[in-house]
Amino acid sequence: MLMIRCPVCGIAADETEFTSGGLYGRLEETENRVIPRDVVREWWLCARGCGTWFGMARHVVNQRVTATWAAGDEPWDGRH
């Protein structure tokens, strides 16, 4: 059960308060993309909070959330 902090409204809550929405980017950019066993960038919706879609980088194996960003900001993986 992930703990996610919405980068828009700042609320930190259980994964169940959010909705996942597939790979980050516009639809035509993300179709048929292979998901690596690594950090992936995804869309998440602050469904029970501010209602905003935002970007999140999550390691698909160890489930670590490495970065979040508001749509329109530069996406990143949380790596320096």
Partner 1 sequence: MARARRNLRVPEKEGSNIGRLIDRTQPISFTFNGRAMKGFAGDTVASALIANDVRRLTSSFKYHRPRGVLGIGSDDPNAIVEIGVGDRRTPNLNATQVLLAPDMRIASQNVWPSPRLDLGGLIGRLKPLMPPSFQYKTFKWPVPTWRVYEKALRTLGGIGTVPGAADPDRYEHIHVDADVLIVGGGLAGIAAAEAASAADLKVVLVEETHRLGGIADGYDGRVDGKPLLDWVQNKVRNLAASRDVHILTNAGVAGLYDHGLAIIHERLDPNASVEPENAPRERIWKLRTKAVILATGAHEKPLVFPDNDRPGIMLATAARLYLRRYGVLPGQRVVIATTGDEGYRTAADLAAGGAEIVRVVDLRLDPDGSLFHIMKARGTPLAVGSAPVGTTKGKKGELAGVTIANRLTLDGPALRSHADADTLLVSGGWGPAPFLAGHLGARLVFDEELGGFRPGELPGGLFVAGAANGKFHAAEVLEDGWRAGSIAVEHVLGSSWSSVVPSHSIEVTADDDAEPVGMLPDVATAAERATAFVDLQNDVTIGDLDIAIREGYSAPEHLKRYTTLGQGVDQGKLAVANAAMVMAKALPNATPAHTTFRPPWTPITFGAIAGTRRGVLFKPVRETPLTALTSDALREPLGLWRPPAVFPRPGESREEAVRREARSVRNGVGLFDATLGVKIAVQGPDAAQFLDRMSATNLADLEVGRSRFALFLDNDGFVLEDAVIARAENDRFIVSAGIGRADNLCAWFERWRQREWPDLNLFITDETERWGQLLLAGPRVPELLAAASSDIDIAGFETDSYAEGEFMGTTARALATRYTATPEVEIAVPAGHLPSLWEQITEAGKPLGITHFGTDTLHRLRLEGGAFDLDHETDGSVTPYDLGLGDLVKVDKPFFVGKEGLERPGMTRSSRRHLVGVLTEDPSFVPPPGAHLVLDPDHAPPRRVVGHVTSSGYSPTLRRSLALALISAGERHIGDRVFIVSSGEGLPAIISSTAFFSNGEPT
Residue among 14 and 33 whose Cβ is closer to partner 1: 14
Distance CA 5, CA 70 (A): 11
Kindly state the DSSP code that residue 58 receives in the 8-state scheme: E
Footprint on residues 5-44 left by partner 1 (CB under 8 A): 14, 21, 26-27, 43
Distance CA 17, CA 29 (A): 27
Q: Which residues have a Cβ under 8 Å from the Cβ of 5 and sit 6 or more positions away?
A: 11, 12, 68
Interface characters, 42-71, with partner 1 (x: CB under 8 A)? -x-x-x---xxx-------xxxxx-----x
Closest approach, Cβ 63 to partner 1, in A, equals: 4
Binding residues (CB under 8 A) for partner 1: these are 1-3, 14, 21, 26-27, 43, 45, 47, 51-53, 61-65, 71-72
